[in-house]
């Protein structure tokens, strides 16, 4: 009897261990409990090295099956990204998507996007639209509205579940974009996965996805196709664990099923880190500015924009009405902590620059004086004769008398302005020697001894003198006051008339003959 009792105990122990092993390794079913909810946050590590182990490639090259084992412990954390699921009412465009109960913020290659989803516990998580911020590309913020929601995660999925789906999203405006999505989701394996974070029992979903973005122009109500913007084909392998709300490992492959990168969960609900930025810290009074939230793992926010404006949305906008320099701060939190980022003297608000200048003409030389308003920092002068300058207050000598259109372009930190003026220059005091020579007249020449010296601008003559060919001064008169000066010489010969003006000396020859 004792022997039989011992056998029964051993049998029961083996049965219990067997049942426990079945429980540990049994496949799982994705239910609503595995769907993300607003308030969840995760830290995600990315391994995008070209040295990804061939073991990982073999994982996706080999058809999956039940009771698999995937060892991802060798993944390298190239960089850490954060992923937070947001309440759509805390996002700027939440009201545009009333059916959404969750939003995510995605930033890549200078493109910023809010993706909005709705959760149906019986069918899954569906994409209902997005807002793409294309301002860094010189474009605008664009809403994409769904006329055919995209299935993001299938409810009640288990090993062997397969589903095909499509999505259709269209933006607004005369020039608009259409994003067509075609995908298959194949829950093709289950088993044990070891990651750098932990060991998980997982269900694998293989998603094959084609995304086509086409540009159209609304021509009198008719959509004119301008062209296909891009087409992307990817295969993604998501390893889903119970109760997490985010894939523990995601393998992204290209159209040829070659791994592009592997993403793995590194922390659940990590303490948040506050950060933010703007595209331009110098703005014009009255311009709208967007504050981009670069915080990690935060699910609530409090902004102080420095001018008395505060906000609790994820990414606020503000219009500053007064010139000044403003501090900006952002306080963030989640269930595991809080953090604050303060940027002092971060936003400079200025008036637009107004170009203006004065000029002072002195013969062919003109001095220009900048009188532009609102803190210009660069100047570009065009003098109307193909010459330019970059000084604030240049002095320029023109080559010939004329009427010139002088243009000044100025910039400050936020704006640019142009003005032009007409400037008239003549020889003035800088008259050329040839023209000065022509202004001096001696007649008659040759002369029998009596001749007249005439100069158009007598007031500018300092002296008049007469010398013979040896340089001997025969006659000299300082500052003559007469327009015509008569001179009489008794001896025949060749003489030199020298007229000294304020700027130069003019010499002219006269011949004296005797009858």
Distances (CA, A) of 302 to 8, 11, 43, 51, 87: 65, 62, 21, 42, 15
The tokens describing 157, both together, are 């999925």
* CB of 240 closer than 8 Å to CB of 34: yes
pLDDT at 16 over 50: no
26: left (phi over 0), alpha (psi -120 to 50) or beta: beta
Q: How far is CA 49 from the centre of its chain?
A: 28
| Angstrom distance (rounded) from CA 177 to CA 507 | 81
* CB of 142 closer than 8 Å to CB of 177: yes
Q: Indicate if 431-512 has the same CATH topology as 276-350.
A: yes
Model confidence at 52, pLDDT cuts 50, 70, 90, reads low
Looking at per-residue pLDDT, the higher value among 426 and 268 belongs to 268
| Angstrom distance (rounded) from CA 362 to CA 348 | 41
* CB of 209 closer than 8 Å to CB of 166: no
Q: Give pLDDT, residue 60.
A: 86
- For 288-334, the pLDDT digits (tens) are 999 999 998 899 999 999 999 999 999 999 999 999 999 999 999 99
Model confidence at 22, pLDDT cuts 50, 70, 90, reads very low
Distances (CA, A) of 378 to 350, 351, 355, 411, 413: 16, 16, 11, 5, 9
Distances (CA, A) of 257 to 25, 61, 165, 235, 382: 28, 8, 20, 7, 59
Model confidence at 139, pLDDT cuts 50, 70, 90, reads low
pLDDT at 135 over 90: no
pLDDT at 1 over 50: no
Model confidence at 24, pLDDT cuts 50, 70, 90, reads very low
Place of tokens 């009771």: 67
115-141: average pLDDT: 85
77-92: average pLDDT: 87
CATH number 1.25.40.340 given to 357-429: no
| Angstrom distance (rounded) from CA 452 to CA 458 | 14
DSSP for residue 220: T
Q: Is 73 exposed, middle or buried (0-12, 13-18, 19+ CB in 10 A)?
A: exposed
Q: Give pLDDT, residue 14.
A: 38
Q: What is the DSSP string of 150-213?
A: EEEEETTB-TT-EEEEEEEEEE-SSEEEEEEEEEEEEEEEEEEEE-SS-EEEEEEEEEEEEEEE
231-257: average pLDDT: 92
Model confidence at 493, pLDDT cuts 50, 70, 90, reads confident
- For 361-399, the pLDDT digits (tens) are 988 899 999 999 999 999 999 999 999 999 999 999 998
Second CATH level (architecture) for the domain 276-350? Sandwich (2.60)
* CB of 90 closer than 8 Å to CB of 312: yes
Q: Give pLDDT, residue 248.
A: 95
413-433: average pLDDT: 77
Cross-strand bridge partners of residue 388:
382
Instruction: Give me the residue spans of the domains in the chain.
Output: 27-268, 276-350, 357-429, 431-512
Cross-strand bridge partners of residue 328:
343
pLDDT at 27 over 70: yes
The tokens describing 249, both together, are 């490992």
pLDDT at 87 over 90: yes
pLDDT at 359 over 90: yes
Selection from 125, 167, 165, 123 nearest residue 144 by Cα = 167
pLDDT at 239 over 90: yes
How high does pLDDT run on average in the chain?
Answer: 85
CATH class of 431-512: mainly beta
Distances (CA, A) of 329 to 14, 306, 313: 62, 8, 14
Of the chain, the percentage scoring pLDDT greater than 70 comes to 87
SS (HEC) of 237-276:
EEEEECCCCCCCEEEEECCCCCEEEEEEEEEECCCCECCE
* CB of 269 closer than 8 Å to CB of 244: no
Q: Give pLDDT, residue 255.
A: 86
Q: What backbone torsions phi and psi does residue 46 show, to the nearest 5 degrees?
A: -115, 130
Q: Give pLDDT, residue 15.
A: 33
Q: Strand 337-350 and strand 282-284: pairing?
A: parallel
448-455: average pLDDT: 78
Strand order in the sheet with 416-425: 388-389, 378-382, 402-411, 416-425
Lowest mean pLDDT among 164-168, 228-232, 352-356: 228-232
Q: Give pLDDT, residue 439.
A: 67
Distances (CA, A) of 367 to 43, 363, 383, 390, 406: 63, 11, 12, 14, 12
* CATH number of the structural domain 27-268: 2.40.360
């Amino acid at each position: 009897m004792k022997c039989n009792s011992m056998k029964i105990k051993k049998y029961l122990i083996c049965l219990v261990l067997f049942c426990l092993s079945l429980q540990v390794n049994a496949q799982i079913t994705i239910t609503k409990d595995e769907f993300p909810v607003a308030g969840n946050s995760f830290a995600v590590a990315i391994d995008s090295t070209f040295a990804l182990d061939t073991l990982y490639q073999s994982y996706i090259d080999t058809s999956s099956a039940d009771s698999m084992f995937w060892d991802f412990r060798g993944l390298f954390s190239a960089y850490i990204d954060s992923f937070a699921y947001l309440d759509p009412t805390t996002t700027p465009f939440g009201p545009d998507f009333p059916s959404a109960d969750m939003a995510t913020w995605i930033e890549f290659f200078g493109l910023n996007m809010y993706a909005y989803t709705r959760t149906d516990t019986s069918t899954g998580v569906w994409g209902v639209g997005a807002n793409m911020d294309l301002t860094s590309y010189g474009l605008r913020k664009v809403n994409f509205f769904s006329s055919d929601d995209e299935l993001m995660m299938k409810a009640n999925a288990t090993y062997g579940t397969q589903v095909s789906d499509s999505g259709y999203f269209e933006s607004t405006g005369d020039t608009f974009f259409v994003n067509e999505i075609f995908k298959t989701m194949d829950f093709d394996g289950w088993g044990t996965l070891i990651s750098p974070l932990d060991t998980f029992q997982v269900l694998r979903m293989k998603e094959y996805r084609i995304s086509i973005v086409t540009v159209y122009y609304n021509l009198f109500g008719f959509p004119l196709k301008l062209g296909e913007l891009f087409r992307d084909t990817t295969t993604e392998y998501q390893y889903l664990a119970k109760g997490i709300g985010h894939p523990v490992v995601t393998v992204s492959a290209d159209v040829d099923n070659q791994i592009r990168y592997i993403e793995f969960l590194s922390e659940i609900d990590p303490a948040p880190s506050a950060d933010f930025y703007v595209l331009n810290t110098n703005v014009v009074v009255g311009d709208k500015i967007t504050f981009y939230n670069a915080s990690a793992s935060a699910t609530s926010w409090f902004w102080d924009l420095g001018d008395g404006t505060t906000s609790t949305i994820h990414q606020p906008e503000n219009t500053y009405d007064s010139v000044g320099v403003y501090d900006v701060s952002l306080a963030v939190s989640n269930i595991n902590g809080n953090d604050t980022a303060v940027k002092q003297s971060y936003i400079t608000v200025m008036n637009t620059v107004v170009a203006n200048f004065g000029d002072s003409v002195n013969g062919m030389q003109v001095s220009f004086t900048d009188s532009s308003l609102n803190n210009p920092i660069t100047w570009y002068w065009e003098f109307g004769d193909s010459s330019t300058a970059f000084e604030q207050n240049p002095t320029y000598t023109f080559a010939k008398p004329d009427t010139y259109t002088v243009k000044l372009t100025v910039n400050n930190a936020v704006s640019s302005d142009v003005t032009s003026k007409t400037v008239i220059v003549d020889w003035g005091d800088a008259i050329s020697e040839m023209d000065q020579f022509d202004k001096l007249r001696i007649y008659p020449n040759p002369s029998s001894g009596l001749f007249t010296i005439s100069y158009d601008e007598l007031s500018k003559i300092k002296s008049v003198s007469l010398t013979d060919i040896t340089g001997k001064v025969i006659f000299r008169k300082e500052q003559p006051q007469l327009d015509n000066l008569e001179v009489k010489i008794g001896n025949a010969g060749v003489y030199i008339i020298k007229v000294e003006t304020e700027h130069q000396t003019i010499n002219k020859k006269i011949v004296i003959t005797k009858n």
